[in-house]
Amino acid sequence: MSSLPEKADKYIKTVTLKDGSQAIVRQIRGGDERALLSMFASLSPETVYNRFFKLRRPFTLEEVSKMVYIKAEEEFALVASPTTPSELSIIADARYFVEDNIRAEISIVVQDKWQLKGLGTAMLNYLINIGKENGIREYFVYVLSDNAVMIHVAKKLGFTLRSQSYGISRLDLKVE
Protein backbone atom coordinates (compact mmCIF):
# COMPACT_ATOMS: atom_id res chain seq x y z
CA MET A 1 0.00 0.00 0.00
CA SER A 2 1.37 3.37 -0.99
CA SER A 3 0.04 6.76 -1.90
CA LEU A 4 3.33 7.74 -3.55
CA PRO A 5 4.24 10.67 -1.28
CA GLU A 6 7.32 11.41 -3.36
CA LYS A 7 5.05 12.23 -6.33
CA ALA A 8 2.33 14.02 -4.35
CA ASP A 9 3.75 17.49 -4.90
CA LYS A 10 3.96 16.91 -8.66
CA TYR A 11 0.19 17.03 -9.04
CA ILE A 12 -0.96 20.25 -7.41
CA LYS A 13 -2.78 23.23 -8.87
CA THR A 14 -5.06 26.04 -7.83
CA VAL A 15 -8.38 26.36 -9.67
CA THR A 16 -10.65 29.39 -9.70
CA LEU A 17 -14.33 28.52 -9.48
CA LYS A 18 -17.36 30.18 -11.08
CA ASP A 19 -18.08 32.22 -7.93
CA GLY A 20 -14.49 33.51 -7.76
CA SER A 21 -13.47 31.25 -4.88
CA GLN A 22 -10.44 29.03 -5.26
CA ALA A 23 -9.56 25.46 -4.41
CA ILE A 24 -6.28 23.62 -4.34
CA VAL A 25 -6.41 20.32 -6.22
CA ARG A 26 -3.72 17.79 -5.36
CA GLN A 27 -2.97 14.11 -5.24
CA ILE A 28 -4.34 12.34 -2.20
CA ARG A 29 -1.70 11.51 0.40
CA GLY A 30 -1.23 9.81 3.74
CA GLY A 31 -2.73 11.88 6.51
CA ASP A 32 -5.90 12.71 4.51
CA GLU A 33 -7.98 10.00 6.19
CA ARG A 34 -9.83 12.11 8.78
CA ALA A 35 -10.40 15.02 6.39
CA LEU A 36 -11.80 12.66 3.76
CA LEU A 37 -13.97 10.95 6.38
CA SER A 38 -15.33 14.36 7.45
CA MET A 39 -16.15 15.25 3.86
CA PHE A 40 -18.01 11.98 3.29
CA ALA A 41 -19.89 12.46 6.59
CA SER A 42 -21.03 15.92 5.44
CA LEU A 43 -22.60 14.75 2.17
CA SER A 44 -26.36 14.96 1.72
CA PRO A 45 -28.25 11.69 1.16
CA GLU A 46 -28.83 12.76 -2.48
CA THR A 47 -25.10 13.28 -3.08
CA VAL A 48 -24.29 9.93 -1.46
CA TYR A 49 -26.89 8.24 -3.66
CA ASN A 50 -25.60 9.93 -6.83
CA ARG A 51 -22.03 8.83 -6.06
CA PHE A 52 -22.60 5.29 -4.73
CA PHE A 53 -25.98 4.47 -6.37
CA LYS A 54 -27.40 3.60 -2.96
CA LEU A 55 -27.87 5.08 0.46
CA ARG A 56 -25.17 3.63 2.62
CA ARG A 57 -24.15 3.64 6.22
CA PRO A 58 -21.45 6.18 7.14
CA PHE A 59 -17.89 5.35 6.16
CA THR A 60 -15.50 4.10 8.77
CA LEU A 61 -11.95 5.36 9.22
CA GLU A 62 -10.73 1.94 8.05
CA GLU A 63 -12.71 2.19 4.79
CA VAL A 64 -11.46 5.70 4.13
CA SER A 65 -7.87 4.66 4.86
CA LYS A 66 -8.15 2.18 1.99
CA MET A 67 -9.17 5.10 -0.24
CA VAL A 68 -6.06 7.06 0.80
CA TYR A 69 -3.39 4.39 0.67
CA ILE A 70 -3.76 3.14 -2.88
CA LYS A 71 -1.56 1.35 -5.38
CA ALA A 72 -0.51 3.71 -8.16
CA GLU A 73 -0.77 1.01 -10.82
CA GLU A 74 -4.41 0.39 -9.85
CA GLU A 75 -5.80 3.79 -8.92
CA PHE A 76 -5.08 7.51 -8.87
CA ALA A 77 -6.91 10.04 -6.69
CA LEU A 78 -7.14 13.80 -6.41
CA VAL A 79 -8.70 15.81 -3.60
CA ALA A 80 -9.62 19.48 -3.44
CA SER A 81 -9.27 21.84 -0.49
CA PRO A 82 -10.66 25.37 -0.14
CA THR A 83 -8.12 28.20 -0.02
CA THR A 84 -10.20 30.06 2.59
CA PRO A 85 -11.08 28.83 6.09
CA SER A 86 -13.79 26.19 5.96
CA GLU A 87 -15.28 23.57 8.26
CA LEU A 88 -13.93 20.97 5.82
CA SER A 89 -10.33 20.68 4.67
CA ILE A 90 -11.26 18.32 1.81
CA ILE A 91 -14.26 19.28 -0.33
CA ALA A 92 -14.03 16.86 -3.27
CA ASP A 93 -12.55 13.52 -4.32
CA ALA A 94 -11.96 12.44 -7.93
CA ARG A 95 -10.27 9.21 -8.94
CA TYR A 96 -9.76 6.71 -11.65
CA PHE A 97 -9.54 2.95 -11.29
CA VAL A 98 -7.35 1.23 -13.86
CA GLU A 99 -9.19 -1.60 -15.59
CA ASP A 100 -6.28 -2.53 -17.82
CA ASN A 101 -3.19 -0.62 -18.87
CA ILE A 102 -5.04 1.89 -21.06
CA ARG A 103 -8.61 1.98 -19.72
CA ALA A 104 -9.95 3.39 -16.44
CA GLU A 105 -13.24 4.06 -14.69
CA ILE A 106 -13.68 7.55 -13.25
CA SER A 107 -15.59 8.56 -10.13
CA ILE A 108 -16.05 11.90 -8.42
CA VAL A 109 -17.88 13.42 -5.49
CA VAL A 110 -18.05 17.12 -4.63
CA GLN A 111 -19.32 18.26 -1.24
CA ASP A 112 -22.80 19.79 -1.56
CA LYS A 113 -21.85 23.40 -0.75
CA TRP A 114 -19.16 23.29 -3.47
CA GLN A 115 -21.29 21.81 -6.25
CA LEU A 116 -22.26 23.76 -9.39
CA LYS A 117 -19.16 25.97 -9.19
CA GLY A 118 -17.05 24.17 -11.79
CA LEU A 119 -14.91 22.25 -9.29
CA GLY A 120 -15.98 18.82 -10.54
CA THR A 121 -15.32 19.78 -14.15
CA ALA A 122 -11.87 21.17 -13.28
CA MET A 123 -10.95 18.11 -11.25
CA LEU A 124 -12.09 15.63 -13.89
CA ASN A 125 -10.25 17.51 -16.62
CA TYR A 126 -7.08 17.49 -14.51
CA LEU A 127 -7.56 13.80 -13.65
CA ILE A 128 -7.95 12.89 -17.33
CA ASN A 129 -4.76 14.80 -18.20
CA ILE A 130 -2.84 13.05 -15.43
CA GLY A 131 -4.17 9.70 -16.60
CA LYS A 132 -3.07 10.53 -20.12
CA GLU A 133 0.46 11.15 -18.78
CA ASN A 134 0.24 7.70 -17.19
CA GLY A 135 -0.84 5.95 -20.39
CA ILE A 136 -4.62 5.87 -19.90
CA ARG A 137 -6.33 6.36 -23.27
CA GLU A 138 -9.94 5.39 -22.55
CA TYR A 139 -12.18 6.44 -19.67
CA PHE A 140 -15.67 5.50 -18.71
CA VAL A 141 -18.06 6.65 -16.03
CA TYR A 142 -21.30 5.20 -14.71
CA VAL A 143 -23.90 7.80 -13.77
CA LEU A 144 -27.47 7.56 -12.58
CA SER A 145 -29.52 8.43 -15.65
CA ASP A 146 -31.37 11.19 -13.77
CA ASN A 147 -28.11 12.84 -12.59
CA ALA A 148 -28.34 15.60 -15.20
CA VAL A 149 -25.48 17.63 -13.70
CA MET A 150 -22.93 14.81 -13.92
CA ILE A 151 -24.09 13.82 -17.40
CA HIS A 152 -23.70 17.46 -18.49
CA VAL A 153 -20.17 17.63 -17.00
CA ALA A 154 -19.16 14.37 -18.70
CA LYS A 155 -20.50 15.51 -22.08
CA LYS A 156 -18.77 18.89 -21.69
CA LEU A 157 -15.49 17.00 -21.24
CA GLY A 158 -16.12 14.99 -24.41
CA PHE A 159 -17.68 11.81 -23.03
CA THR A 160 -20.35 10.21 -25.20
CA LEU A 161 -23.27 8.11 -24.07
CA ARG A 162 -22.52 4.45 -24.67
CA SER A 163 -25.42 2.73 -22.97
CA GLN A 164 -28.36 3.12 -20.61
CA SER A 165 -29.83 0.31 -18.59
CA TYR A 166 -31.83 0.05 -15.37
CA GLY A 167 -31.47 3.77 -14.65
CA ILE A 168 -27.68 3.83 -15.10
CA SER A 169 -25.89 5.50 -18.00
CA ARG A 170 -22.38 4.70 -19.16
CA LEU A 171 -20.39 7.42 -20.86
CA ASP A 172 -17.06 6.86 -22.60
CA LEU A 173 -14.13 9.05 -23.60
CA LYS A 174 -11.12 8.25 -25.77
CA VAL A 175 -8.08 10.51 -25.62
CA GLU A 176 -5.03 10.69 -27.86
pLDDT tens readout for residues 3-19:
444 444 789 999 999 99
How much is the pTM?
0.91
pLDDT digits (tens, 9 = 90+) for 104-155: 999 999 999 999 999 999 999 999 999 999 999 999 999 999 999 999 999 9
Domains defined along the chain, listed by start: 5-137 (3.40.630.30)
Q: Residue 145: in which H helix or E strand, if any?
A: none
> If we measure between CA atoms, which residue out of 12, 143, 1, 138 comes closest to residue 83?
12
Strand order in the sheet with 160-165: 12-16, 22-27, 75-82, 92-98, 103-110, 138-144, 168-174, 160-165
> For position 10, what pLDDT does the model report?
86
Mean pLDDT of the chain: 92
